[in-house]
Structure 1
Amino acid sequence: MPATIEQYPVGSGPYAVTTGPDGALWYTLVHSGRIGRLSPGGTPAGFAVGAGTGPTIIVPGPDGALWFTCYRSHQIGRITTAGQATLFPLPTPQAGPFGITAGPDGALWFTESAADRIGRITPAGEITEFPLPGTGMFASAITAGTDGGLWFTLNQANAIGRIRTDHKITVFALPTPKAGPVGITAGPDGAVWFVQILAGQAGRITADGDITEFPLPDRAGRPHAIVSGPDDRLWFTEWAGNRVGAIDVSGHAETYDLPVAGSEPHGLTAGPDGAVWVALENGHLARIAPRDR
């Protein structure tokens, strides 16, 4: 199925993008230490967070603000829709926070990739950390599942983890060795979906831990991030393949080549306009609108 792809310049190094409560796209500019905002059809705006902070993943919070991880400065950030930013340092030094998501308990949950921990921060800034049952696991992306748990990828442990709001952690090993799971999201079918950057596959895990894997058309595409789209499909980026793909809940996948070589697609989101928006580290946001669906 063809798609219309448009690109919009937004500044150096967009890494992740999300739709904010104000109906605009909010994105991280990892190299310049800024958060950006773009209303579809408008002009991009940028807000300074701090040199060397490395803002990485950004999501809407339960308080009407946007929350993000600062991988390089080991902080959690909050920015209002007016552009006022606050940073919260983590208790554990050199923790490497990466993924973040809003939980079912009114708090934000995040991964500490370099510290083998899952963290929780309230809108007031109170932080609690929970150690994982192992070392060198490299917790990466995290999402809230429909079962009330928080699900996350363990990139170096080749596993998917779940932490419940009672803090119990369960780890589910992947069938494919050295698959390298990274992106993860709640799917439209009540399961959790993820992508394996080293194996070139998408995966699906149920609340009971049953895992199904789906090889993608290009096994060398290095799928990085995944999100539920506006069309009941799961959309993902292929960093090495310079493309974006979509997979339905039956496992059928389609891919869309990006028009500019070396775009480096990373995070993506269902936009406020019914399209899928993608952060391209080459300095653009891409808007993808499938046709004839």
Structure 2
Amino acid sequence: MSEKPSQQQQQLAKFIENYSGQDGVQPTSIPSLFLIRESTISEPISRVNEPSFCMILQGEKEVLLGEERFLYGPGQYIVASVNLPVTGQVTKASTESPYLALKLELTPTDIVEMINETDLPYNQEKKSKRAMYVSSAEPSLLDAVLRLADLLEVPKHIPTLAPLIKKEIIYWILQGPHGEALKQIAVEGSNGSKIRKVIDHIIKNYIEPFRIEDLAEIANMSVSTLHRHFKEVTAMSPIQFQKQLRLQEARRLLLAGSTDVAEIAFRVGYESQSQFSREYARMFGFSPRVDINRFKEKHVNE
């Protein structure tokens, strides 16, 4: 990450700096494309990371998936091929040299169309791969991303050209060293696509307890096979996955103004407030009440 940035990286960084104008995630007139700028090192933020491609042009970021840590910086990108509960933190940023990145949201349909159009081979019986990975951007990928961003300067071309360039970006990602991780989620009948269905079910019903046998039935797998593939894809077990979803939603509700810890614990599916508080502190580093007070003090001082 200390290598000198390429001309393409420099152009993209300058473009994001000029176009965003302020900190935060900025939507653009290109559907599914977002520009990101942060001038300070952030606190860890937990959320569900949707399927996406995110490239850093300046600064650094750390993402935690279960116990796995991903650190990436200029000229690198991170891909998430399914919805994943993660904790992310900008680790290198300043007013003089802000964190600059862009994100392109992806759908299984986007990926399937590209696979079908190019006849990219895929072995459905392959071992499942992690649904999140970091890779270095090749010049061909950087060139496509730069051309997509440039369309923001000529909006009349966006409806026609943006979908084509997005397809090209997906093509280069699929051609990359970790392309199989993206293919596995989109190809119907693959182990990865079966796990995606289980993930979607847990996310939609995260408050409710589940039987592992029911999840195995959704995936059309044995219980042991489901456990193995689910952990290969998400870096955690189905129960751990559900727990992260519950705790993330609980924290969102608490920091949004709800102060009744017992009520929040119940709302996200916990029957025991003490268990909820223990697991909350283990994930976020503070008990729910301490976390609420920290958040209030921070905003009072700002």
For normalisation by structure 1, the TM-score amounts to 0.27
Structure showing greater Rg: 2
For normalisation by structure 2, the TM-score amounts to 0.26
